[in-house]
Amino acid sequence: MGAVGGMLGLGGGAGGTSFAGPAASPVTPEQLAGAQTGVQNSMQGQQNLLTALQGQGGLQNQSNVYGQLQGVANGQGPNPAQAMLNQATGANVANQAALMAGQRGAGANVGMMARQAGQQGAGIQQQAAGQGATMQAQQSLGALGQMGGMANQQAGQQIGQTNAINQAQQAQQNTLMNAQVSSQNSANAANAAMANQRMGQQTGAIGGLLNAAGPALSNFGSWIGSGISGLGAAGSAVGAGAGTAMAGGTEVAPALMLAAQGGQVPSGPRSLLGQRLACGGGVPAMVSPGEKYLSPQAVEQVKQGANPMEVGETIPGKPKVGGAKNSYSNDTVPKTLEEGGIVVPRKETKSANPDKKSAEFVQKVLAKRKVGKK
């Protein structure tokens, strides 16, 4: 039945094809929200890391080292050579004076000896001072270079770590979103293909049914035109004032207008299709809330003196037009009626004396039924 219902457009789902809408994505909104939260948390973590690295002075250390190197280049930085040279010069002067004083009284040329000794000592000390100053300068510059490298490393760690975590979180989010889009597109494409195929089957099946139902519908129209006994102009089985229509020159009443005016339930459909729809002789009609429906059995009880208001079935619901009035606007309750039954309208059931008025109405209908049989 599912395949047939889908072909006829009665299978539910997308366009009545029995196919559901797009399948649910394997990526849930909760997962996407979690990925988004992860991105935000990672960015906050990177901000915390940035704050910590700034506390260590990563970029500031780099700036400080650059400034110190600039000072060295301008001769304003550490210069141990100058200090050692000054110290060595003072020592040379002192040594020379001591050497000269120690040679006094000697038989040799004291002045020449003192001069040579002083020059030799000064050269040695001055050479040692120059070497020491060079080593110290090299050591200072080496330390500055290491400081610069460390500062660059700290800044690089900060930047690299931030980019790495952000890229990882963004990759995760992109993966989830791509999976969702891919799954949705696949489901939509598959369902669209199946729905198009089934809708094509629907068109062919419905067309075939309409072609096959042509003769039956023609018989049904004939039944509407002439097969409803008890409906029509005043004097028929329905109450006075029933609405009528013209069909082939014959004055008939629409089938579903029975309830508003009340009256005898007509004989069942004559066509094969009508009999099928009426389920073995039942007459489909629209009745009004507050009306009384007398089945054929209840009609027989009324003939024996029963009260129609007691043996009849009350139509439930709330009418659009209240009071003891017959109105087609109140015909909102679908009901299948039995042949030979009688519908007592609201004009009688809601009158000041419903028991009397209903009984009189039934008697009138029964009297007209007898006249119709002669």
Residues 352 and 278 in one domain: yes
- Determine the pLDDT at residue 229: 37
The pairing of beta strand 342-344 with beta strand 292-294: antiparallel
Number of domains in the chain: 2
Q: What is the DSSP letter of 14?
A: G
Residues 84 and 129 in one domain: yes
Select from 64, 52, 70 the least CA-distant residue to 147. 64
Residues 42 and 189 in one domain: yes
pLDDT in tens, the chain (374 residues): 455 565 555 666 655 665 565 556 677 788 888 888 988 888 888 888 878 877 887 677 878 877 887 777 776 766 676 677 777 777 776 776 666 666 555 556 666 766 777 777 778 777 877 887 787 777 777 877 887 787 788 778 778 877 887 887 788 778 887 877 777 787 778 777 777 777 776 677 777 777 766 665 555 554 444 444 333 333 333 333 333 333 333 333 344 445 456 666 665 444 444 433 434 457 888 999 999 999 999 999 999 999 999 999 999 999 999 999 899 999 999 999 998 899 999 999 999 999 999 999 999 999 988 876 65
Select from 83, 67, 58 the least CA-distant residue to 137. 83
Taking the C-alpha atoms of residue 1 and residue 12, their distance in angstroms, rounded to an integer, is: 12
- 228 part of a folded domain: no
- Determine the pLDDT at residue 253: 39
Residues 193 and 297 in one domain: no
Residues 38 and 136 in one domain: yes
Taking the C-alpha atoms of residue 39 and residue 280, their distance in angstroms, rounded to an integer, is: 70
- Long-range contacts, 4-10 (Cβ 8 Å, 24+): 6/198, 6/201, 6/202, 7/198, 7/201, 7/202, 7/205, 8/202, 8/205, 8/206, 8/209, 9/199, 9/202, 9/206
With residues binned 3-state (H G I as helix, E B as strand, rest as coil), the percentages for the chain, rounded to 5, are 65, 5, 30
- 32 part of a folded domain: yes
- 29 part of a folded domain: yes
- 236 part of a folded domain: no
- 145 part of a folded domain: yes
Give the bridge partners for 294, in sequence order.
342
Residues 150 and 262 in one domain: no
Residues 201 and 122 in one domain: yes
Residues 132 and 189 in one domain: yes
- Determine the pLDDT at residue 317: 94
Residues 85 and 198 in one domain: yes
- Determine the pLDDT at residue 275: 39
Note the residue count of the chain.
Answer: 374
- 240 part of a folded domain: no
- Determine the pLDDT at residue 202: 67
Provide the residue range defining the domain that includes 260.
245-373
pTM here is 0.33
